[in-house]
Amino acid sequence: MSRSADEEQGVRSVAYALPILPGMTERGLRFLEELIENRGEAFHRQRRDLGFRRIKVFRQSYPAEMVVLYLEADDVHDSIHRRAASQHDFEEWFEHEFEELTGVHVDDAPAHSRQVELVFDWHKEHGVSRKHHPV
């Protein structure tokens, strides 16, 4: 099976959504507060060193309580796999909290297993496409 152009060049971004387990919304907000206020520098260093350029996290409350993640890197799948292989204490804490909130281990998340597929990309200079536009 041949690799797609996106796989050859490295996918630059991916987004996926996961449910927040029932009764875990407040804990999720406390997790984000802890991450931002007390562990932000560790998160920043780890993600930068793993090759991520941008990470956005959205809370979606309808039709269900969800967390929507957007990850960006020169090769986002490589950065995801490098994160999974990391033995850093911060990653152990992060993995535990992520799984407690979503019921999904971060290494089993859709982006990690390539279960997320881009089906539409619009860019102001390039129009519409079924694959990632060049940056």
Measure the CA–CA gap between 64 and 86, rounded to whole angstroms: 32
Nearest of 74, 76, 36, 70 to residue 55 by alpha carbon: 70
Element holding 57 (H helix, E strand) = strand 52-60
Nearest of 25, 86, 104, 15 to residue 59 by alpha carbon: 25
Name the residue range of residue 107's domain.
5-129
135 belongs to a structural domain: no
Q: What is the pLDDT of residue 112?
A: 67
Q: What is the pLDDT of residue 4?
A: 45
Label residue 116 by pLDDT band (50, 70, 90): confident
**Domain total of the chain:** 1
Task: Provide, rounded to the nearest whole percent, the portion of the chain with pLDDT above 70.
Answer: 90
Q: What is the pLDDT of residue 8?
A: 45
85 belongs to a structural domain: yes
Question: pLDDT tens-digit profile of 49-79?
Answer: 999 999 999 999 999 999 999 999 999 989 9
134 belongs to a structural domain: no
Residue 73: C-alpha distances to residues 20, 43, 64, 107, 135 (Å) = 25, 15, 29, 17, 12
Asked if residue 5 has pLDDT above 70, the reply is no
